């Protein structure tokens, strides 16, 4: 009897252990990305969908079944890039939006995400190429306008002080995240949050000039030492944003879910149209300010010849402070616009910095108009190149065009030749 009781107790213990393991297995369910491919209401089978990390390391490949369903198990939580292989699509079926061949999805611990690819009737190759070229050209103009706004301040700061400011890109991030905090955390509408964020970023930029750069210039600190200080300042701003907001991408609370409008071969969301229109208006306003106002003429004079401008009675320190304030405000506008089109993350300004430098150098160092023209070219080349080459190489082609133009015209497109020696 005792033996039977012990066997029963042992059996109960085994059941409890197995139940516990089953619960643990359910609780630790693997992270997955899945989806279902359909065209005209029917599943599309045999299509390959590749999953990779943000660094490009492959994770796995899913193949759609008869009902179009597919799923890929992930090694853990994180952000993953999902790419549909359009070559495996059946004849006559293609993506309705060719720009959405690649998606970026965030998966939390124990969670899952769904990748949605809209499929429809495939267009003829020539028609599809023309559509992609038109869409990429518009995207390039849109991206170039944002780069131009952020690059103007970088160009004028170099022209008036000789400083190559590596913290300029992180001011873009700061402006975008200040708007995010006011919009999402405080609850203000994005327009009001954006205006306040621009004012705060401009004030912070002016404070950095008054509290850091001006004292360093008075002590006759060398430009190399100031460049190193700007790199340190960039790290400080970047990691403060990372500490307070985290490393994940964040969307704004307004203008996120919009239906795209079709203009011939080009699709644009209303927010993208507003961003492009406001960007053009702001750049025209900056150009008029530089040519028509006393302050603008002072900025151009100091950038052209600081000693001569100072001997002519221009308050150089006031002009430089104005350049920093205006540059800070423009970087915030560019960051907010970029966040509205894409999303906000702590590396967004750092990624934009190289393109800003490319635009400034391509157009001509120290010239605001050159920064505008160079940035538009960089934006166009980087986006149009995605029609013929991988999107991961788009910045490479922009920098390649920079190298070619500088070989022909070393001073930049709108720069002036200078005699050395």
Q: pLDDT per residue over 99-157, tens digit each?
A: 678 888 888 877 788 888 888 765 554 567 788 888 889 999 999 999 999 999 898 89
Residue 387 has pLDDT above 70, yes or no: yes
Residue 306 has pLDDT above 90, yes or no: no
Give me the pLDDT at residue 416, please: 65
DSSP state of 90: P
Which of the pair, 62 or 418, is modelled with greater confidence?
Answer: 62
CATH fold of 129-408 reads: ABC transporter involved in vitamin B12 uptake, BtuC (1.10.3470)
Mean pLDDT of the chain: 83
Residue 8 has pLDDT above 60, yes or no: no
Which of the pair, 155 or 20, is modelled with greater confidence?
Answer: 155
Residue 131's contacts (CB-CB under 8 Å, 6 or more residues apart) are: 98, 123, 265
Give me the pLDDT at residue 22, please: 41
Mean pLDDT to the nearest integer, 359-379:
86
Pairing of strands 112-114, 32-36: parallel
Give me the pLDDT at residue 3, please: 47
Give me the pLDDT at residue 4, please: 43
Residue 209 has pLDDT above 80, yes or no: yes
Lowest mean pLDDT among 152-156, 237-241, 402-406: 402-406
Give me the pLDDT at residue 253, please: 87
For 22-61, how does the pLDDT look when each residue is reduced to its tens digit (9 = 90+)?
Answer: 444 334 456 888 888 888 777 888 888 999 887 778 888 8
Q: So what CATH class is 32-122?
A: mainly beta
Which of the pair, 11 or 373, is modelled with greater confidence?
Answer: 373
Q: Which DSSP helix (H) or strand (E) runs through 5?
A: helix 2-27
Q: Which of 194, 182, 371, 154 is nearest to 275 (CA)?
A: 194
pLDDT band at 228 (very low <50, low <70, confident <90, very high): very high
Give me the pLDDT at residue 142, please: 93
Residue 348 near residue 172 (C-beta atoms within 8 A): yes
Give me the pLDDT at residue 127, please: 60
Q: Which of 200, 182, 202, 199 is nearest to 190 (CA)?
A: 182
pLDDT band at 90 (very low <50, low <70, confident <90, very high): confident
For 172-183, how does the pLDDT look when each residue is reduced to its tens digit (9 = 90+)?
Answer: 999 999 999 999
- Distance between CA atoms of 184 and 167, rounded to whole angstroms? 25
Mean pLDDT to the nearest integer, 364-369:
79
Which of the pair, 29 or 397, is modelled with greater confidence?
Answer: 397
Q: DSSP readout, 280-321?
A: HHHHHHHHHHHHHSHHHHHHHHHHH-HHHHHHTT--HHHHHH
Give me the pLDDT at residue 61, please: 87
Give me the pLDDT at residue 14, please: 43
- Percent of the chain predicted with pLDDT > 70: 89
Mean pLDDT to the nearest integer, 212-238:
92
Residue 19 has pLDDT above 60, yes or no: no
Residue 358 has pLDDT above 80, yes or no: yes
Give me the pLDDT at residue 6, please: 52
Which of the pair, 241 or 39, is modelled with greater confidence?
Answer: 241
Mean pLDDT to the nearest integer, 362-372:
83
- Distance between CA atoms of 325 and 316, rounded to whole angstroms? 14
> What is the residue extent of each domain of the chain?
32-122, 129-408
> Exposed (0-12), middle (13-18) or buried (19+): which is 4, by Cβ within 10 Å?
exposed
Give me the pLDDT at residue 421, please: 46
Which of the pair, 418 or 282, is modelled with greater confidence?
Answer: 282
Mean pLDDT to the nearest integer, 233-241:
93
Mean pLDDT to the nearest integer, 312-323:
90
Q: Which DSSP helix (H) or strand (E) runs through 368?
A: helix 368-384
């Amino acid at each position: 009897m005792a033996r039977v009781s012990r066997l029963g107790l042992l059996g109960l213990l085994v059941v409890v252990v197995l139940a516990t393991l089953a619960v643990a297995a359910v609780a630790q369910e693997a992270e997955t990305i899945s989806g279902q491919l359909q065209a005209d209401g029917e599943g599309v089978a045999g299509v390959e969908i590749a999953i990779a990390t943000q660094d490009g390391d492959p994770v796995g490949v899913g193949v759609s079944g008869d009902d179009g369903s597919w799923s890929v198990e992930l090694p853990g939580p994180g952000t993953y890039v999902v790419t549909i292989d359009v070559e495996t699509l059946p004849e006559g079926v293609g993506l309705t939006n060719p720009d959405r061949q690649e998606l970026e999805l965030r998966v939390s611990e124990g969670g899952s995400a769904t990748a949605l690819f809209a499929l429809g009737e495939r267009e003829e190759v020539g028609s599809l190429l023309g559509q992609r070229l038109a869409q990429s050209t518009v995207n390039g103009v849109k991206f170039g306008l944002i780069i131009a706004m952020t690059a103007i301040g970088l160009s004028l700061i170099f022209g008036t002080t000789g400083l190559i400011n590596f913290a300029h890109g992180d001011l873009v991030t700061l402006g975008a995240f200040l708007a995010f905090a006011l919009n999402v955390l405080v609850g203000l509408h994005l327009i009001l949050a954006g205006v306040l964020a621009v004012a705060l970023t401009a004030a912070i930029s002016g404070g950095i000039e008054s509290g850091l750069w001006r004292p360093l210039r008075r002590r006759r600190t060398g430009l190399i030492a100031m460049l190193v200080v700007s790199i340190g300042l960039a790290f400080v701003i970047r990691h403060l944003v990372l500490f307070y907001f985290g490393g994940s991408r964040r969307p704004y609370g307004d203008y996120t879910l919009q239906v795209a409008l079709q203009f011939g071969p080009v699709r644009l969301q209303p927010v993208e149209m507003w961003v492009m229109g406001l960007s053009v208006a702001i750049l025209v306003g900056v150009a008029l300010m530089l040519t028509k106002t006393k302050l603008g003429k002072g900025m151009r004079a100091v950038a052209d010849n600081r000693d001569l401008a100072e001997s002519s009675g221009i308050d150089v320190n006031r002009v430089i402070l104005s350049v920093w304030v205006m540059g800070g405000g423009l970087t915030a506008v560019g960051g907010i616009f970029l966040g509205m089109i894409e999303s906000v993350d702590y590396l967004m300004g750092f990624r934009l910095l190289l393109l800003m430098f490319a635009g400034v150098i391509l157009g001509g160092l120290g010239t605001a108009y050159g920064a505008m023209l160079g940035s538009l070219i960089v934006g166009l080349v980087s986006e149009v190149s995605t029609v013929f080459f991988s999107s991961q190489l788009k910045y490479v082609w922009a920098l390649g065009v920079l190298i070619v133009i500088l070989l022909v015209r070393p001073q930049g497109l709108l720069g002036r030749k200078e005699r050395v020696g």
